[in-house]
Amino acid sequence: MTNKVEQAPKSWLGRNSKLLANDPGLFLKKLTTWLRPMRADYRRRWALGLRKWMIRYHEELLFNKVTWMGSTARKMVLDAWVYQQILYDVKPDFVIEIGNAEGGSAKFLANMLDLLGHGQVIAVDIDHSLFAIEHPRVHKVTGDSLAPETLQRVAQIAAGGRGVVIHDGDHSREHVLKDLRAYSQFVAAGSYLIVEDTVIDLFRAGDGLGNVDGPLGAVEQFVREDPRFQIDTSREYFLITFNPRGYLKRVA
């Protein structure tokens, strides 16, 4: 079956030919709106294309415009909405976030858990010097995600509960794969292991972004090794995501 989004786009006239036949007055109104010079900027935006939009988001928005309640969150905001839905569906006892940076994403997760009225955030980072948030649900664990002491502390806080894990730490393929192997134990059946920034593998040489051998390869290898996890592409319904093939559902 051909995916709708893969079909060649029709011209403006092609898309509106039915309207022209059925309601020429409304057609004329739309046409003049579309052609008005003041709309040129919007026409340019709409013609941008998803790939260029994604690059612009990384270059111009990610590190200085995207905040959650005043705290920098290095997130694709559409993914944050998907996280909200996953948290609502799973209702976890804890969310482990590997890689926290300024802490805006940990605050976002804690605020979602506030709304659910339940759950803790275990915020793991090798370096919490940028971390600038405090929240009663957030428990900082400072250390390399793979260090035995870090894993031990995480296990203590998790205490056998029902977990969601979000990986946003060291993005090298090798490290991500090791993290997935180590942290999959905390993911409950029916819950998610989310691997952030698989999109960086899709950028092209010359884009000036990302690591070409990053998290995406780790995901592909991990799901081959561990059949309890399946890539859930249904969570990519916005099309735009930092995590293509990065929403892993534990199915067994």
Ligand X SMILES: C[S@@+](CC[C@H](N)C(=O)[O-])C[C@H]1O[C@@H](n2cnc3c(N)ncnc32)[C@H](O)[C@@H]1O
Sign of the CA dihedral with 195 first, then 199, 202, and 204 last: negative
Of 98, 164, 103, the closest CA to residue 125 belongs to: 98
Interacting residues toward ligand X by CB under 6 A: 73-75, 97-102, 104-105, 124-127, 144-145, 168-170
The one-character DSSP state at 204 is: P
Distance CA 199, CA 193 (A): 16
Q: For ligand X, give the closer residue by CB, 168 or 201.
A: 168
CB of 227 to ligand X, least distance (A): 27
For residues 247 and 83, is the Cβ–Cβ distance under 8 A?
no
Residue 142, both tokens = 């400072």
Q: For ligand X, give the closer residue by CB, 183 or 229.
A: 183
CB of 74 to ligand X, least distance (A): 4
In terms of DSSP bridges, do strands 247-250 and 163-167 run parallel, antiparallel, or are they unpaired? unpaired
CB of 156 to ligand X, least distance (A): 17
CB of 163 to ligand X, least distance (A): 17
Q: For ligand X, give the closer residue by CB, 49 or 61.
A: 61
Sign of the CA dihedral with 213 first, then 219, 223, and 225 last: positive
Q: For ligand X, give the closer residue by CB, 101 or 187.
A: 101
Q: Which residue is nearest to ligand X (CB)?
A: 99
